[in-house]
Structure 1
Amino acid sequence: MRVVATKDFDPIKVADFYEKTSLPGLVELQFHRPKGFLAPYFTQSDDVTSVLLVNSNNEIIATVTVYFREALIEGETQTVGFASDLRVAPTRQAVFKWATYFIPLLIQEREKRNCKYIFSMIAEGQRQALNAFIRPRSARRKLPRYHLYRKLDLVSINGRYPWAPAPLEGAYIRQLTPEDRPVFSDYVAKKQLSRPMSFPFEVENLIQRIPHFDDGQFLGAFDVHGDPIGLLSLWNPDLVQHVVPVHWSKRATSIRGIFKSLSYLGLTKPLVTPTGRFSFHFANHIYADNPDVHYCLLRRAFQEIPKQDFILYPHFEGDLASLPPQGHFTTSTKFGLYLIMMPEDPIPDFLRPRMLAPPPDFELTYL
């Protein structure tokens, strides 16, 4: 077996392996990437490391991708990594050998960038992943330790009741223009001061990296004096990645049927488009002065997206300011944001439990 850089391998074989490995859950999902396997990561960073584990028959048996970017963690600038796309073929050889080849590479890439922290997000429904990574393991095997940083819900907004609360009368929401950049850059910088982890907010960089993204993708909230009180951006990842359901559990099938029936009344979205895949928008860069402004932004965002789309956004456990909006049809999938550390790494202070700690500045597009 050997480790091969993804960019140096047959892209057709890479796509075939990735698309055939699905993620379990209430809805079993497959991911297709029309612009190339690495396209989603280049929307976040140019510093991407993606490798494959290939056997003697030149068959892919495992993949992993890590990308690195600058972050501010408790007031200190750090290089952090995000690990994703760990896919392991369901064979004994792959399950036992992937760590032997990937872990030294992970350590090497960390040291090369002086990177202390690598994060990964795992759904609670991914029992095999939790069993492989989180459970206690033999100290004789030098495997990375997954430490839970924060629990979060992936909230899906699928519809709205007719009696949903009205938005605040004193909050004015509109699409932003290039002239609004300085004001909202200052607003975001102030909001990030209270976050334990945040990332540079540069609109020009976002526009250059993310396909079909511009200032109009931002919704800004203003008070009666014209001062900013909230921000949210919308982006459809369908340009770089398609999410296709391949199996529905009984519970998911029931929810799908209810939403489809209610969609005829204009109350919900049908979940799946005629093409057979999910169509949704990420709600990112969410900042709000209070829960009422947060509600107004999500309500307006739901009105802005196409008829067949729904909204996804992260809600961290204990964050009362970003609860799912009242009067809307919502579903939640539980995840954990984990910090990947080697056994000899010291436990960082920000990992220790804190009551009512503010959530990190985290976007779903990071993973």
Structure 2
Amino acid sequence: MISIILCTFNRESTIEASIDSILQQTYQDWELIIVDDGSTDSTRQRLEAYQDSRIRCIYLPENSYYCYAANVGMAKAVGEYIAFATSDDIWEADKLELQAEYLAAHPECGAVFSKVFLIGADGERVDSLYPDMVRLFDQENRSRAQWIRCFFDAGNCLSHPSAVVRKSILDQIGGYDLFYAQLADMDLWLRIILKSEIYVLPEQLVGYRWYSAKKQISGQTEEKKNRSQNEFLAIKKRLLELMTDEQLIEYFGDLFRNQTSRSPIELGFERMFLLMEQGAMYTRFYVMGLQKAEEVLRIPGAADVLRDHFGVRLQDLYRKNGAILYAETGVLERIRVLEQENAELKKELDYYRPAFYEVVNSTVWKCTKPMRGMLDWLKRRKK
């Protein structure tokens, strides 16, 4: 059996299309657990219209956000597999059948995903309008090491409503981390990958609703952008902590400061360097790395290892800790833009400088100097 978890909040206009696409699945051995996360529109009335005995509804008294609601639903699940549906996306009829067949044939695989197509407000195909979104979820299969590096460097690239996960894996690693609001699915996928293989089916089995007016959890407000960046950094740190030393060597060994690092202290410092130097552009901050340095340096003899094994002195860390580490993301972006503009202006200045000096050193310029002085005097008199 597949337990389908569907969380909803004020989705009266799309919830029925989502449920209907589940009812139309060719694979019929499922239960649908719907968690209404405190909706204030007509969502509840629409849910109560369904009489299928396989559908169970849980009504939360107030909105608690997706991760809390999903964990409530998963706690009630009894299926061998867990599928994640959403209240505004739709499934192709053979989605569950294809994914259940793959998991049954590949016991080493802990989760199976699919590619997606995009739909607009009225269910029409809109792939051509948002090619970047299509490319984001058009992922080829990778090894576990390659998936880890992909997430670590670029962030999430797997579609949440396409996922079907073995319940036995979720029983080991737990459900959604309630700390995360934007990137909870990325955190969950990474924890799954640390335990097992994953696979992406080549078929587009999910109609992912995407349009510019959509008020969705992934819609990018300034607050959500900042939260995504903060969560990404926290997830990277957690990933490096959850890895065994063997996994760290396998997945990130090529990036080690010292390729011979193997002891706990040496690998602790390698984690520090990874946090400080690697990852997507907006997480190139020293904060988490310096926190890791403080942790490792509590171990007797760690400072000597840092110096002898890595060629880094305590004074080097002190200098890094003297940098500006805490700045609002928008300020950093503005600084980057101004630096770029300054560089462009410098190029223009360098280009025109020879012509300027040619004019300044010309005979005409020198001869007209008294006249220019008189004009300047007259301007000052008028003021």
Comparing both chains, which one has the higher relative contact order based on Cα–Cα distances under 8 Å and sequence gaps of 6 or more?
Answer: 1
TM-score (norm 1): 0.24
Query: Higher helix share goes to which structure?
Result: 2
Scaled by the length of structure 2, what TM-score is found? 0.23
More strand by share: 1
